[in-house]
Structure 1
């Protein structure tokens, strides 16, 4: 065992716990493109998660207009997935999903609402609330992705993001209109 390596006197085993993964630091036009690509991957994941979640939302919704709004948005989401795939092709990058904890939390909120409400208007109100949060997230993301694409002179990508952005805005307005139709006549002394 003479050749066995002796432990370094300065070795600190706690150092291994301090090792952190290197995070990419975006900078310049290349960095903006990489940031755009990273967010496209995230939106790709979000739209795919939503497609899987819409049938469950429809199953638990009571209001016909809400069911119709979710159904229409599911069709729009399929188109948005195709646009994101076109964006990957334009960027000459593989279509990769980038996990989004934000959407997972928002979808969990819908599950939680379903669990704590009875089938009916209150559940519909909760589903609308949670969906509105998702719509606002998507509107914010598609809006800034369009701006980044414009800054990068990627007109094709900008148009694709704008088209998805407009669909998200319509979905948001549709949900807001439905929310306004849900009325309760509560005893004012309890408010």
Structure 2
């Protein structure tokens, strides 16, 4: 597709957004299923429904423009979804995985916020007020989701993941102490039984006499 006008660029951005949202409709259920934190699971499920609504808005916009939404794949979203899928397959603690899910989800949100923002600017410049209104609804949902994920991370998920790190450090300290104790006891017994020490003490006693 040739980009000869701002209208051409707006269409390209809209197709990119459409592809991105369609990919998310497939990816979000997997993230929700993998989430251990119940509030995180609910937040992802809620955003899945919002994403379906965003797809519908984009289809409405393409209808207004008498243009097909097909024909372009958002490679950026494809990469973000692949990274998220790889993280879900990693073995480990649920609390840490939840923190990773939020990180992956927020990378997606930040990409979408930027994409919606620029597309809105193009539509506004050309006087497409109805399109601006529809896109702004989706943008506000993306921003609200980003804020919700940040709150979950700060207040619940990251706290739980960090507590696991604290438990590991405590266990390591206990193991170090248990290893040091026998070594210290062995050292004390060796000094008490040492013939060199005993001979030195007898020699010193004889000199005093």
The answer for the alignment partner of 1:56 in structure 2 is 30
Deviations 1:52-76 (A, max 9, x none): 1111111111001110010110010
SS of 2:113's equivalent in the other structure is helix
How far 1:50 sits from its partner (Å)? 0.5
Could you tell me which of 18, 27, 49 is aligned with 1:75? 49
TM-score (norm. length: structure 1): 0.81
* Segments of 4+ moved more than 3 angstroms: 185-190
Higher mean C-alpha displacement, 173-182 vs 126-135:
173-182
TM-score (norm. length: structure 2): 0.74
Instruction: Give, in whole Å, the separation in 2 of the partners of 1:88 and 1:97.
Output: 13
The answer for the alignment partner of 1:154 in structure 2 is 128
Say whether residues 1:166 and 2:143 are aligned partners.
no
Provide closer, same or farther for how the CA distance between residues 97 and 74 of structure 1 changes in structure 2, counting only shifts above 3 A: farther
Could you tell me which of 86, 92, 115 is aligned with 1:118? 92
Say whether residues 1:42 and 2:26 are aligned partners.
no
The answer for the alignment partner of 1:96 in structure 2 is 70
The answer for the alignment partner of 2:117 in structure 1 is 143
The answer for the alignment partner of 1:20 in structure 2 is none
Instruction: Give, in whole Å, the separation in 1 of the partners of 2:93 and 2:63.
Output: 43
The total of aligned residue pairs comes to: 164
Structure 1 residue runs without a partner (length 5+): 1-22
Deviations 1:111-143 (A, max 9, x none): 111122425111010010010000000001111
RMSD of aligned residue pairs (Cα, Å): 1.8
Structure 2 residue runs without a partner (length 5+): 173-209
Q: Which has the higher helix share?
A: 2
Question: Which structure has the greater CA radius of gyration?
Answer: 2
SS of 1:163's equivalent in the other structure is helix
How far 1:97 sits from its partner (Å)? 4.6
